Amino acid sequence: MLLSRFINNRKKLIRGQKGFTLLEIIVVLAVLAVIVGLVLPNFSSTIGKSKTVMLQGQVEKAKEACFSFYYDTGGCPREYSDDPAIRQLSQNLPATAGWQSPYLERPFLSNDWGGVMRIVNDKASSRSLLNNYAFDISGFSPAGNDCYLYLDGVPRKVCASLDQRFDGTDDIYNHGSVIYHQPDSGVDKCNLGILLISACGAAASSPPPPPPHYTLTIQVSPVGGGTTTPAAGTYTYAAGTIVPLSAIPSPYWHFSSWTGAVTDPASANTTIIMDDNKSVTATFMQNAPVILSLPASQDSYIDQQHPATNYGASHHLQVSSQCLYKNERSLAMFDITGIPAGASIQSASLNLYAITLPPSSRTYGVYQILGSWQEPSVTWNNQPSTPPVPIDTSTTPSSQRWMSWDVSASVQSFIDGSFHNYGWLIRDEAENSHPSRATHFSSMEDNGHHPLPQPPNPRLDITYLPR
């Protein structure tokens, strides 16, 4: 009500009307003083609690950092030149064997009440510093080699809070992990010593044994069959560590099993518990080869003497060399779509059964066809192109039997997608010879036309490894 009246009177004053009285001003100021008196102590108390919590956290970090430093180096932080010992937790000065990494992101050199924060640990400085501030250390640290975090200028209530936190009591007597002293009667400030590590000096010469570590040796069998994660080699792990293991087979290999104390020997992804020195081996096996014998999907021969005639329905194929441009060539194609992508072709042979043979041996070359053709329409005039050099050659036998050509690289190129599968063309390597030299082969349409002890139709024999 008073504030409202004050504001209304202010508006009237602005309009040139009569303002508020002196009594009203005094009353409003009194109300404001009461409000500030209620809020400010609570605000100050909140800030004080925050400072106390922050200091407790700093002490916890200092204890943890000192323990880590002690474990790695076998001793406690030391003063270096003019740098306090606490700075050695954030930088390796002086150089100390075993120092691993910063144990504190930044050293705590002062507290929020303006006093210093300092680590003391060697016998002389511990006794001197603590005695200077009237700490009674008799019976508390007889060897004088404990490691303390020393603070001064800390409010007495905060000292009691830290004593309760780290000692379990809030008395002012020197015992347990916290000792503190109130310098002068009537001054609400204390000097405080908090024990970080006991008998640090003694421990520096005889560090406790570290927790056990064990070695893990990983091997692969056979070499080249696959890899592992971690890679093959020897590693060191702390006792109780659970190490994940993975076996990755190389192309055309598969994982078989683990030997050694792994959790699941039959699984490529498993684990091992490091409770002793251990050795494991990932065993791989090569994929089993797949053997196929494929019939021709289309075949035909072409005749230079009859360049527009198609012979796709013929029960035989012909290859001949005749003078006056009367040569004959044969074509054959096979469906290999059943071979999976990425397969490794170990061998592939094109096989034609020779029925009638020339009086003397001839050399026939097999050429990879580079263009499309169809059995019912292919002729000498429209025959597809081929490279100038044969993939392989074979000599005619002296009697009826199979002739074979190695087309492994050609089939691999079909699987890899380097070339399209249009099959192969077979021709005499010395065309236009005299007298005529001709060989007849059985075609895919030869259904008993030539009585033979086995099916004589063209075939493609393939052995491959699946990826």
Residue 4 CA: distances (Å) to CA of 11, 20, 29, 218, 336:
11, 12, 14, 84, 97
Determine the Cα–Cα distance for residues 79 and 120; give it in Å rounded to an integer.
Answer: 9
3-state secondary structure 281-318: EEEEEECCCEEEEEEEEEEEEEECCCCCCCCCCCCEEE
Cα–Cα distances in angstroms (integers) from residue 309 to residues 298, 320, 379, 432, in the given order: 17, 16, 6, 20
* Separation CA 247–CA 34 (nearest Å): 76
Report pLDDT for 155: 82
Q: Nearest-5° angle of CA 230, CA 232, CA 235?
A: 65
Give the three-class secondary structure for 41. helix
- The three-state secondary structure class of 444 is coil
Name the residue type at position 452.
Answer: L
What integer pLDDT is reported at residue 192 of this predicted model?
73
- pLDDT, position 284: 97
Q: What is the mean pLDDT of each run of 10 residues along the chain (467 residues)?
A: 50 51 75 60 56 78 78 72 69 72 74 74 52 47 59 78 66 54 65 69 45 90 95 93 95 95 95 94 95 96 96 94 90 96 95 92 96 97 97 94 96 96 96 86 83 81 93
What's the confidence (pLDDT) of residue 168? 58
Measured at the CA of 162, the angle between CA 158 and CA 166, to 5 degrees, comes to: 175
pLDDT, residue 455, reads: 76
Structure tokens at 85: 């010992």
Query: Which residues, including other chains, have CB under 8 Å from residue 36's CB and lie 6 or more apart?
Result: none
* pTM summary value: 0.52
* Inter-residue contact 181 to 194 (CB < 8 Å): no
Distance between CA atoms of residues 343 and 415, nearest Å: 7
CB 254 within 8 A of CB 237: no
